[in-house]
Amino acid sequence: MSYRQRLPNRRPALTERIEFAGRPYWISVGFDPRCGAVREVFAAGAQLGSDSDALIADAAVVLSLALQHGISAQALQLSLARVPHVIDGPAVLPASILGALIDLVVTIERGAAERGAAERGAAERGAIERGAR
């Protein structure tokens, strides 16, 4: 059994605007300051008090719990339904707002990994250059 990774009370966060099914949504992701991974998701955008509002909030809670229990966003992304962008095209777009939330988390994590690799590469080049002097 995987245990939940409890987050500190104060942690870094990022808020992004996405569009799904022609509607704007505001998504906030909270990072685990110990490792920089996304571990928490909040979502808003549906009419306040509507069924959609409750469903989106609940989906964000379930996604947050999955991330805190060690399930990767990439694994979740592969498990959810996708739809084609054009008729007879490959299924590439998220079929639900939950899929769109997970796509955003994956995009943020990939960007962080790419920045981390670039920073490590720059540090290694700097160390090599210092050693060559």
pLDDT digits (tens, 9 = 90+) for 71-110: 999 999 999 999 998 888 998 899 999 999 999 999 999 8
State pTM to two decimals.
Answer: 0.79
pLDDT in tens, 9-24: 888 999 999 999 999 9
* Residue entry with tokens 């290694």: 124
The answer to whether the beta carbons of residues 24 and 37 sit under 8 Å apart is: no
Which two three-digit tokens encode residue 64?
Answer: 């947050």
Helices (H), ranges, the chain: 51-68, 73-79, 97-132
